Amino acid sequence: MKLPVIFYIYYLIEIVAAIVGGFRYRNLTRPLRILEWLIIISIFGDGVQLALARLGIHNLWMSHFYTLIEIVFVFLMYLSWIKKYQSRLMLTFCLSAFIVFWIVSKFTFEPLSFLDVWTGTIAMILQITFSVLILIDYVKESDINWTKDSRLWIATGIIVYSAGCLIRFTLFSSILQLSKDNIYIVCSIIWILIILSNLLYVRGFLCKK
């Protein structure tokens, strides 16, 4: 299946984000270093999924494991930013509960042979929720400096990214019923949102420490 140009633009921008993060790595805070490694893992995963698809080999199982890796990385990043004990406790509890739910789902209602619709949807909702909490904490501070504080850019980027993935997970069954052209349109919308999120990550990487 020939992929549209927008997919390759999305993949290129993701690589650019990783390169920018790599050049800035020594100056990055711990949360941004976690994000940098997550982007690298995403690039590798996308490449393997594309290669498997080209060979006609089943690759949906990779989405299951990436969903778990992604939420762990994002929540570890947010733990470094969240200062309130109650919020940190809630985040830790949600992450622990999700990991248990993820493990149980693989042996019951969500096999690796199909897209991880339920765990993927819940993961995106959790990421959006805690990203919003990060932004609320950000705007409450009196000494906000958007050129030095990366939280604005990264949290916004994760919200945009999660919104795009949420479309993919929640509408997956409906998308499969569409014509090839309409599938490309829906996928292009998702890729555009991910492109925007990666550009926001780049801006976050460029913030002064």
Q: What SS3 string covers the chain?
A: CCCCHHHHHHHHHHHHHHHHHHHCHHHCCHHHHHHHHHHHHHHHHHHHHHHHHHCCCCCCHHHHHHHHHHHHHHHHHHHHHCCCHHHHHHHHHHHHHHHHHHHHHHCCCCCCCCCCHHHHHHHHHHHHHHHHHHHHHHHHCCCCCCCCCCHHHHHHHHHHHHHHHHHHHHCHHHHHCCCHHHHHHHHHHHHHHHHHHHHHHHHHHCCCC
The 10s digit of each residue's pLDDT in 101-145 is 999 999 999 999 999 999 999 999 999 999 999 998 888 876 777
Pick the most confident of 30-39, 82-91, 175-184.
30-39
Cα torsion through 150, 163, 71, 22, rounded to 10: -40
User: Which sequence spans correspond to the domains of the chain?
Assistant: 5-205
Is the pLDDT at 10 greater than 90? The verdict is yes
CA nearest neighbour of 9 among 196, 200, 172, 180: 196
Give the pTM: 0.94
Is the pLDDT at 83 greater than 90? The verdict is no
Share of the chain above pLDDT 70, in %: 99
pLDDT at site 209: 64
Query: Of residues 176 and 192, which shows the higher confidence score?
Result: 192
Exposure on the CB side of residue 72, measured as CA atoms within 13 A: 12
pLDDT at site 73: 98
Q: Average pLDDT, stretch 160-187?
A: 89
Is the pLDDT at 173 greater than 90? The verdict is no
Q: Average pLDDT, stretch 180-195?
A: 91
Dihedral sign from CA coordinates of 51, 54, 55, 59: positive
Number of Cβ within 10 Å of residue 123's Cβ equals 26
Is the pLDDT at 147 greater than 80? The verdict is no
Is the pLDDT at 75 greater than 70? The verdict is yes
Query: Of residues 203 and 173, which shows the higher confidence score?
Result: 203
Q: Average pLDDT, stretch 169-180?
A: 85
Is the pLDDT at 58 greater than 70? The verdict is yes
Lowest mean pLDDT among 59-63, 139-143, 194-198: 139-143
The 10s digit of each residue's pLDDT in 14-33 is 999 999 999 999 999 999 99
